[in-house]
Amino acid sequence: MEIDAVAKNFQRKLSVYQSLDERFEIQKEMYRGQQYSQIYFIRLHKMRSLLYSLVEKWKPDVPVCTVLGLEEGKECIIVGTLYKHMKLKPSVLDEYSKERSVAPLVKSHNFMHPDDQLVLEDESGRVKLGGTFLAPSMFVTGLVVALHGKETSAGDFLVQDILEPGLPPQMQLPCGSGEDKYVVFVSGLSVGSNTSNPLQLQLLIDHITGHLGDEKEQSIASQIVRVVVAGNSVEITLGLLNGQALASKDQSRLSEPIKELDILLTQLAAAVSLDIMPGPSDPANFSLPQQPLHRCLFPGASAYNTFVSCTNPHSFELDNVRFLGTSGQNIDDLGKYSDAEDSLDFMERTLRWRHLAPTAPNTLGCYPFTDKDPFLIESCPHVYFVGNQNKYKTRLLREGQLVRLICIPKFLETGVAVVLNMRNLECHTLSFSTHLDP
Amino acid sequence: MATGSMKNYYKQKKSGIGKSPSKPKSKPTNKSPAISSSLGSDLAQPTVLIAHGSPDLKDEFGEDEEVLRQFDLNMAYGPCLGMSRLDRWERANSLGLNPPKVVESLLRGGKTGVDCLWDGRV
């Protein structure tokens, strides 16, 4: 029997990790019965101070006024929060309306209608926006913008121009040591689903941990410094969670997906640093920011200090490269209330609006903060990722600063994971297939 | 007899002079019409409290509370519901809105209401 030549032991590359999730944690928050008006106030205040400074460079000779201070026919600039009045948006009050028209059942994908109207609101009042400059399909409720225009005799505001906050300032991308270091993004593992293929997931883990392939592949795998799991790691069959007490045999079925996930994550955590984010179908709280999955769900993996349970949205720095990402809820919600060619456009818009989730708390569940709005993007990330999307898509924004936008596809459906090279922000995919078709 | 006692009954008072005790004024019962248009009982009309010569329509609160209520109602510092007044003051301070220092000293003094005007009422 031939003994293999001395197997090369590859050392995995290291990188310095710093989590910036503190702003998304809500342990210190205390609920005192407040409503969402507080978070809207903070958002308006912070964005308005920013916009006032930008407006001076944009149109320095046009006066700025509040909504209540509008005079008919006088050109001015107003800053406020946008509200989009949507006919088809489901409202809980419809249940109580006396006239029960034959309204269509709520279709979950898009509530847009040609008659949607935009309104601008600040603490003094609100004004309807008229004219054809603004296309309501591009905007959602909750954005703070500056508008240039004038009040018409009909009482609405004729918009001539709009100023969005634009891309936030970015810290310089580090020049790097010249060596390639990779970060793997994967989302939508959906362990426990009927259609999940455990072999596909095992292939992914084996590749990352270096158990697959020859030396060349293993050396590539040793350059992976971190794995980020962006949400929807488990899928618990909905039939089990119908509010009734579970029989004992069902109770074990409830926890099996998590146990299976823990076994897989233990293998990963033993070999590489791992970040796991909660998603819409994970056992975490519903409203954003979702809190980290509890350590007790992962008895095996949490024993390793390479295992980090993170919030959703998740922000971190790796070798001074800043990452920011979510498990998809913010972009999916934008897709229901506005229109764009693809998810990358939505992502770009959220960066230009400097707000991760403008529809929160209107249509996206959110914690009622009183003293901060954690979704405001103050510093532009170098890498902005969104999980649980339908297809893999990526774009590099170049506007004096580089931002890599990544849409991570659902692993359950596509078998694709995304690999990012931190040296040059290039992206490629890892695709796993277990088809045995001839 | 009626006219004679009327003058004593309805004392002529100047507003602002707080000498006389707040004597309840009530219409004498022999004046109420036999057929009353008011619903319910035929008791005399309810009394009107007069204090210091002007109708006492406000709850018991002083100037301090008035200052704090103006602070509550000021829209520049955000909505007042759902937060204690001191928290709202501190938030306004950290946002650089320069809330009046008078309000802070009143709130830290501890003798005034902790919550805003409408707390518990809305």
Distance (Å) from the alpha carbon of A393 to chain B's nearest alpha carbon: 39
Residues A145 and A206 in one domain: no
Looking at residue A413, what is its pLDDT?
92
| Nearest residue of chain B to residue A371 (CA atoms) | B91
The amino acid present at A99, given as its one-letter code, is E
Residue A54 counted as domain residue: no
Q: Which of B79, B87, B94 sits opposite A41 (nearest CB)?
A: B79
Bridging pattern class, strands A426-431 and A416-421: antiparallel
Contact between B79 and A371 using a beta-carbon 8 Å cutoff: no
Sign of torsion, CA A363 A367 A368 A373? negative
Structural domain containing residue A125? 59-102+110-163
Contact between B91 and A370 using a beta-carbon 8 Å cutoff: yes
Q: Which of B76, B78, B83 sits opposite A32 (nearest CB)?
A: B83
Residues A76 and A147 in one domain: yes
Residues A127 and A232 in one domain: no
Count: domains in chain A: 2
Residue B73 touches partner A, C-beta closer than 8 Å? no
Residues A228 and A353 in one domain: yes
**In terms of C-beta density within 10 A (0-12 exposed, 13-18 middle, 19 or more buried), how is residue A372 classed?**
middle
Give me the sheet containing A273-277, strands edge to edge.
Answer: A307-309, A273-277, A224-230, A182-186, A416-421, A426-431
Residue A212 counted as domain residue: yes
Residue B19 counted as domain residue: no
Residue B98 touches partner A, C-beta closer than 8 Å? no
Residue A345 counted as domain residue: yes
Residue B95 touches partner A, C-beta closer than 8 Å? yes
- φ/ψ of A77, rounded to 5, equals -115, 130
Residue A437 counted as domain residue: no
Q: Which of B75, B83, B94 sits opposite A34 (nearest CB)?
A: B83
Q: Is the peptide bond before B46 cis (omega within 30 degrees of 0)?
A: no
Nearest in space to A352 (alpha carbons), one of A54, A32, A128: A54
Structural domain containing residue B85? 63-109
Residues A304 and A426 in one domain: yes
A31-86 tens-digit pLDDT = 888 889 999 999 999 999 999 999 999 999 999 999 998 999 899 999 999 999 99
Contact between A37 and B91 using a beta-carbon 8 Å cutoff: no
Query: In b/e form, how buried is each residue of B110-121, taking b as 16+ CB within 10 angstroms?
Result: eebbebbbebee
Contact between A37 and B84 using a beta-carbon 8 Å cutoff: no
Looking at residue B25, what is its pLDDT?
44
* Complex ipTM more than 0.90, yes or no: no
Contact between B84 and A371 using a beta-carbon 8 Å cutoff: no
Residues A352 and A311 in one domain: yes
Residue B42 counted as domain residue: no
Looking at residue A5, what is its pLDDT?
46
Q: Which of A45, A124, A368 sits opposite B95 (nearest CB)?
A: A45
Nearest in space to A310 (alpha carbons), one of A363, A254, A370, A387: A387
CATH code, domain with A83 = 2.40.50.430
Residue B58 counted as domain residue: no
DSSP annotation of A376 reads B
Residue A49 counted as domain residue: no
Residue B13 counted as domain residue: no
Residues A191 and A90 in one domain: no
Residue A347 counted as domain residue: yes
Half-sphere exposure of A372 (CA within 13 A, CB side): 14
Residue B78 counted as domain residue: yes
Half-sphere exposure of A64 (CA within 13 A, CB side): 17
Count: domains in chain B: 1
Question: Which chain A residues contact residue B84 at CB under 8 A?
Answer: 32
Q: What is the mean pLDDT of each run of 10 residues along chain B (122 residues)?
A: 56 53 44 48 55 57 83 88 88 90 86 77 72
pTM: 0.83
Residue B55 counted as domain residue: no
Residues A71 and A211 in one domain: no
Residue B66 touches partner A, C-beta closer than 8 Å? no
Cβ atoms of A204 and A187 closer than 8 Å:
no
* Residue A24, Ramachandran bin (φ over 0: left; ψ between -120 and 50: alpha; else beta): alpha
Distance (Å) from the alpha carbon of A329 to chain B's nearest alpha carbon: 27
| Nearest residue of chain A to residue B75 (CA atoms) | A123
Residue A53 counted as domain residue: no
Contact between A371 and B94 using a beta-carbon 8 Å cutoff: yes
Contact between A41 and B76 using a beta-carbon 8 Å cutoff: no
β-strand partners of A371? none
Task: Tell me: pLDDT of A292 over 70.
Answer: yes
What's the distance, Cα to Cα, between the start and end of chain B in Å? 53
Q: Where are the alpha helices (DSSP H) in A177-242?
A: 198-209, 215-221
Nearest in space to B97 (alpha carbons), one of B116, B78, B114: B78
Residues A127 and A197 in one domain: no
Continuous segment of H or E residues that includes residue A73? none
Residues A126 and A226 in one domain: no
A185-238 tens-digit pLDDT = 999 999 988 888 899 999 999 999 988 888 888 888 999 999 999 999 999 877
Residues A151 and A95 in one domain: yes
Cβ atoms of A279 and A388 closer than 8 Å:
yes
Residue A223 counted as domain residue: yes
Residues A424 and A305 in one domain: yes
